[in-house]
């Protein structure tokens, strides 16, 4: 059913400052897209079936711009190190297991099911270097109904033998085969995924650049997450002024190559300037940045400068798959950053984190993450009745409280691109 109406308290962002709330209103889904939000239902939509969620809160789906599916099995474990040691001690060891399709199948079943049951409607997902396991992940996400970009990871240097592709040629060849085999999904799309500059040779990035041009693919990677990592990239890439240039010199950094870069905790002026000019998206992952003591990204500054940004969970450097938790962490992280070392950049507001989690990240998928007319119809109905309080709360307050207190069990219905994922009756 692609034509219907949802009745409830409709909340969505127009801009980072403008949160629109229509209490006891209607949002219309027509052909999988939003046909607008109304206080009174126009006559022309009266024939559409109406799902009545009076008194519940209806939001556009949440967008996770950065998540590592194969790391889900060790979420909540082993966060006692900084990035590079954490990768070598915990992450690469886990990811190597995905050579075994049986293990991959069991792990990805859990990941896909949990993502389906969450408030996340769209995600940018890392797999591993293994093409077959990544196809399996894509299949499971497709079956779960999630709209996602999924990447087979590329890494041909500075990686343990069990998780290092034999050569740039082999890595690119496997990627091409994987691209061919992933053509037939409807809602899951491939994205080029060089892990990060330290694990990709120049030759590999050159080959990925050719694939990008041939197939017009987007790209996802990591950028300026950790100070040691940044110094390492400078050593590995003589002649570059800043980390982002190591991708940009291969045309993998925005413009005709849509790009989402996780973290950008320590991006300097020149890097920010290039991200803005190229329309590169920042995936801000505040929980991960705290767990791996990476630092606190100046996300408010990115927004003020017109740099595109959304939120990521960065499982398993982040422990939770919940974008609500990422919203709360983003506000908290911005407050500590302001208090501890930079009072020129104000903390994020509730309006701003809600925007980041919906429309900010959604724009990586085109028109997604809002209920404005013409946007993909992604909707999540939140039931906050079990968050008890004797106070009478306005809808704006209830939404704010959801950011801090929401759990998956509070979701009454979920729709993506007009498709019903589940619905309480
Ligand atoms: N940089 C390169 N790989 C990773 C990863 O798996 N997680 C995080 N947080 N940063 C990375
Ligand atoms: Fe990551």
Domain ranges of the chain: 4-60+371-423, 62-365
Report field, pTM of the whole predicted structure over 0.95? yes
Look at residue 408 in the predicted model and tell me its pLDDT.
Answer: 76
pLDDT digits (tens, 9 = 90+) for 331-375: 999 999 999 999 999 999 999 999 999 999 999 999 999 999 999
**Listed residues: CB within 5 A of ion ligand 2:** 262, 314
Kindly state if the Cβ of 95 falls inside 6 Å of ligand 1. no
Kindly state if the Cβ of 155 falls inside 6 Å of ligand 1. no
Look at residue 281 in the predicted model and tell me its pLDDT.
Answer: 98
Look at residue 1 in the predicted model and tell me its pLDDT.
Answer: 60
The span from the CA of 407 to the CA of 63, in Å, is 16
Ligand nearest to the CA of 91: 1
Quick check: helix, strand or coil at residue 269? helix
Q: Please give the distance, rounded to the nearest whole angstrom, from the Cα atom of residue 181 to the centre of ligand 1.
A: 26
CA 373 distance to own-chain centroid: 23
Q: Please give the distance, rounded to the nearest whole angstrom, from the Cα atom of residue 219 to the centre of ligand 1.
A: 15
The span from the CA of 42 to the CA of 392, in Å, is 30
Reported as half-sphere exposure (CB side, CA atoms, 13 A), residue 105 has a value of 3
The CATH classification of domain 62-365, taken from the options 3.20.20.140, 1.10.10.10, 3.40.50.150, 3.40.50.720: 3.20.20.140
Q: Please give the distance, rounded to the nearest whole angstrom, from the Cα atom of residue 67 to the centre of ligand 2.
A: 6
Relative to the CA of 317, which ligand 1 atom is closest?
Answer: 9
Kindly state if the Cβ of 196 falls inside 6 Å of ligand 1. yes
Residue to substitute in 71, 90, 262, 263 for testing ligand 1 pocket (most ligand atoms within 8 angstroms of CB): 262
pLDDT digits (tens, 9 = 90+) for 391-406: 999 999 999 999 999 8
Q: Please give the distance, rounded to the nearest whole angstrom, from the Cα atom of residue 370 to the centre of ligand 1.
A: 29
Q: Please give the distance, rounded to the nearest whole angstrom, from the Cα atom of residue 196 to the centre of ligand 1.
A: 8
Residue to substitute in 317, 318, 319, 326 for testing ligand 1 pocket (most ligand atoms within 8 angstroms of CB): 317
* Contact call for residues 378 and 359 (beta carbons, < 8 A): no
DSSP designation for 199: G
Look at residue 425 in the predicted model and tell me its pLDDT.
Answer: 81
Name beta bridge partners: 259: 219
Residue to substitute in 71, 85, 88, 91 for testing ligand 1 pocket (most ligand atoms within 8 angstroms of CB): 91
* Contact call for residues 146 and 120 (beta carbons, < 8 A): yes
Question: Which residues does 163 contact at the CB level (< 8 Å), separation at least 6?
Answer: 92, 95, 96, 128, 129, 155
Whose tokens are 């690119």? That residue is 172
Q: Cα–Cα distances in Å, from 264 out to 67, 244, 294?
A: 15, 10, 10
Smallest CA separation from ligand 1 atom 8, residue: 317
* Contact call for residues 124 and 153 (beta carbons, < 8 A): no
Sign of CA dihedral 15, 367, 263, 138: positive
Look at residue 2 in the predicted model and tell me its pLDDT.
Answer: 85
Kindly state if the Cβ of 271 falls inside 6 Å of ligand 1. no
Low pLDDT (below 70) residues in the chain: 1
Kindly state if the Cβ of 314 falls inside 6 Å of ligand 1. yes
The dotted CATH code for 4-60+371-423 is 2.30.40.10
């Amino acid at each position: 059913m692609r034509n219907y109406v949802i009745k409830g308290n409709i909340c969505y962002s127009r801009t980072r400052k403008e949160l629109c709330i229509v209490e006891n209103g209607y949002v219309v889904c027509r052909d999988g897209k939003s046909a607008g939000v109304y206080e009174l239902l126009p006559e022309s939509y009266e024939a559409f079936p109406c799902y009545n969620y009076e008194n519940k809160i209806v939001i556009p789906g949440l967008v996770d711009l950065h998540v590592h599916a194969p790391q889900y099995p060790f979420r909540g474990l082993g966060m006692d190190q900084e990035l590079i040691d954490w990768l070598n001690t915990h992450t690469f060891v886990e990811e190597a297991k995905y050579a075994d399709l049986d293990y991959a199948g069991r792990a990805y079943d859990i990941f896909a099911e949990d993502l389906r049951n969450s408030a996340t409607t769209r995600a940018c997902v890392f797999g591993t270097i293994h093409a077959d396991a990544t196809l399996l992940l894509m299949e499971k996400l497709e079956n779960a109904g999630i709209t996602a970009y999924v990447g087979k990871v590329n890494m041909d240097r500075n990686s343990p033998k069990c998780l290092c592709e034999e050569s740039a040629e082999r890595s690119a060849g496997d990627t091409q085969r994987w691209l061919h085999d992933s053509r037939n999904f409807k809602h899951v799309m491939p994205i080029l995924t060089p892990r990060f500059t330290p694990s990709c040779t120049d030759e590999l990035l050159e080959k990925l650049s050719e694939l990008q041009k041939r197939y017009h693919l987007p790209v996802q990677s990591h950028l300026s997450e950790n100070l040691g990592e940044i110094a390492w990239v400078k050593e590995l890439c003589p002649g570059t002024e800043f980390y982002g240039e190591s991708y940009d010199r291969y045309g993998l950094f925005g413009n005709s190559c849509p790009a989402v870069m996780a973290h950008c905790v320590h991006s300097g002026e020149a890097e920010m300037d290039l991200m803005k000019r190229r329309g590169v998206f920042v995936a801000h992952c505040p929980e991960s940045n705290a767990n791996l003591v990476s630092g606190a990204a100046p996300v408010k500054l990115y927004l003020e400068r017109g740099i595109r940004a959304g939120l990521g969970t960065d499982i398993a450097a982040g422990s939770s798959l919940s974008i609500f938790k990422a919203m709360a962490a983003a506000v908290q992280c911005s407050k500590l950053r302001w208090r501890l070392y930079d009072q020129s950049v104000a903390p994020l507001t509730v309006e701003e984190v809600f925007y980041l989690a919906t429309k900010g990240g959604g724009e990586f998928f085109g028109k997604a993450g809002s209920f404005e007319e013409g946007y993909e119809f992604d909707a999540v109905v939140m039931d906050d009745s079990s968050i008890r309080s004797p106070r009478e709360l306005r809808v704006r307050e209830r939404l704010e409280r959801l950011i801090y207190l929401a759990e998956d069990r509070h979701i009454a219905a979920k729709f993506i691109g007009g498709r019903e994922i589940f619905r309480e009756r």
